[in-house]
Amino acid sequence: MESGKPIGVFDSGVGGLSILRALRRELPQEEFVYFSDAGHAPYGERDDAFVAERSRAIALRLIDEHRIKALVVACNTATAAAVHLLRAEHAHLPSIGVEPALKPAAGMTRTARVAVFATRGTLASAKFRALHDSVRGQADFVLQPCDGLAAAIENDNQEEVRRLCRLYARAAGEFGSAPGQIDTLVLGCTHYPFAIPVLAEVVGPGVGIVETGEPVARQARRLLEVNGLLNRAGRGQVTLLTSGPQQALRQAAQRWLGGSLG
């Protein structure tokens, strides 16, 4: 496989741009193909069979049409439902998934209370249950489904984003640094980092907010190095694909990635 080939990245919509942003910082010379499955979003409120079917179809398209050298499943719900299938079906292809950062959060919290904001699909998955079981006893994890938040972010509906952030923060419990309060918030959906300014205001100072972009980017670099696939002469170009409106994806990319897309 050639090192100059692009890395494929996909999500149910624009949330995966938060992962792509971290990947571009870590790997500025790599070329990327980003696929937003906005025409079939949101994944978080779909069943596993549907998400797995879409994930497999998108992976095949990226492999067949764009000859990708690695795949990043930039969606917690798709990772939980399908990354094991993609790895089995495309064993030659380095594949990286994302998962809520429960382990880092367990090491960060001082009050031993952590909130996890995620979609229902992620929280109900066997993969998440196994992850949760692996840190059981290290902290009290408050699992908060956030229906509609990913869609509000996707549509850049700031009023709805603010309303939902307040709603789910209240539902999770009291945030703060005092004993018994929640002092760490895990963002278990790749859309949610784009709401960090609102979430930080809602939960207040002293609450740590943990996302997954940087760890995923570091893992991508490691796998590329191990497989001799690092691109050291690329121009950092990004190709944007979507099953939804192309203009909406391009506007989101310009808004959240900043600068040139190559």
Looking at the annotation, which residues are catalytic? Answer: 75, 189
What span, in angstroms and rounded, lies between the C-alpha atoms of 143 and 132?
10
Please report the beta strands in 76-172, taking only residues with DSSP state E, as ranges in sequence order: 95-96, 113-118, 140-145
Query: 3-state class of 70 per DSSP?
Result: strand
Start-to-end CA distance of the chain, whole Å, equals 23
Element (H or E) spanning 169, and its range?
helix 158-172
What span, in angstroms and rounded, lies between the C-alpha atoms of 59 and 71?
8
What span, in angstroms and rounded, lies between the C-alpha atoms of 30 and 153?
27
Which residue carries 């309303």 as its tokens? 163
Task: Please report, to the nearest 10 degrees, the dihedral formed by the alpha carbons of residues 133, 135, 137, 138 taken in order.
Answer: -170
What span, in angstroms and rounded, lies between the C-alpha atoms of 72 and 87?
11
Least Cα distance to 36 among 153, 120, 146, 117 occurs for 153
